[in-house]
Structure 1
Amino acid sequence: MIVRQLDEVPCVEWGNGLSRRFLVADDGMGYTVTDTLVSAGTKSLLEYKNHFEACYCISGRGEVIDTAGNSTLVTPGTLYALDRNDAHWLIAHPEEDLRLICVFSPALRGDERHSLGDDAASHY
């Protein structure tokens, strides 16, 4: 059995926030679980070419926008899943951090960080 507390897990600065990585590839579960903070007022162009990702919002407000321009409000209780390795914008409300519980499949190594830029999506 694996039991971890938030203050015990590695914290990775991913570019526009923090990712606390509860499970990673070395744990042998086949998926990663993170507690992710997206800093208030940030806008991140992201794309996971090697991983599927599902995110469940537990606090804050934000927006996820696909490359076709479809926008979804993200508030507590909202889950969005990137089931086609979708490039997307993740935007946190200007006045509060967005907190997400995220699951990645296959598992992350654990040390990945985004390389954020204005023109191209950051990739894992």
Structure 2
Amino acid sequence: MIIRDFNEIIESERDRVVSDAKWTSVRMLLASDGMGFSFHVTFLEAGSEHEFEYKNHFESVYCMQGTGSITDLATGETHPIKAGVMYALDKHDRHILRAEEELVMACCFNPPVTGTEVHQADGSYAAPEQKPELEEA
């Protein structure tokens, strides 16, 4: 059984708290936990916009707090995001996530992330067996 306290992680386990441009993710479960998926609580800053395409991972996301929208770049469809809404990127969907208010999201990734990933230039994480490509300066 794995027991983790969110508050203890944000206070002491810096290797499980990842930040990037206008978002922070608290990694509650990682690949090393052996569950077959990773679980994160992610905070997206109000007014921020993020373009992602997890072409090597599937992701499901549940909004716990805040408002925003998600746009599927393949179809152009935009859907509102608010507390209680879930979306799943079942086709490695390239998308834009916008936070009108701070969004607090519960996220699961399959395959699980290791906690050391960084977003590549195209908005994806490298496949687990790949080394990340470096962005041009």
Contact kept, 8 Å, 1:30 with 1:106, in 2: the verdict is yes
Q: What is the one-letter code of the residue matched to 1:90?
A: L
Q: Which moved more, 1:11-20 or 1:37-46?
A: 11-20
Residue 26 of structure 1 pairs with residue 27 of structure 2:
no
TM (normalized to structure 2)? 0.82
Q: What is the one-letter code of the residue matched to 1:86?
A: D
- 2:7 maps to 7
Any stretches of 5+ residues in structure 1 without a counterpart? none
TM (normalized to structure 1)? 0.90
Higher strand share: 1
Q: How does 1:40-119 map to 2 (within 5 A)?
A: 40-67=46-73, 68-93=75-100, 96-115=101-120
C-alpha offsets along residues 50-76 of structure 1, whole Å, 9 cap, x if unaligned?
A: 110000000000100011210010000
- How many residues were matched structurally? 118
Off by >3 Å, runs of 4+ in structure 1: none
Q: Which has the larger radius of gyration?
A: 2
The percentage of counterpart residues that share the same residue type is 41
Higher relative contact order (CA 8 A, sep 6+): 1
Measured in 1, the distance between the counterparts of 2:21 and 2:118 equals 7
Question: The residue matched to 1:122 in structure 2 has which SS?
Answer: coil
Measured in 2, the distance between the counterparts of 1:3 and 1:98 equals 25
Contact kept, 8 Å, 1:62 with 1:91, in 2: the verdict is yes
Question: The residue matched to 2:39 in structure 1 has which SS?
Answer: strand
Structure 1 position 7, deviation (Å) = 2.3
Measured in 2, the distance between the counterparts of 1:34 and 1:14 equals 14
Measured in 1, the distance between the counterparts of 2:31 and 2:8 equals 17
Higher helix share: 2
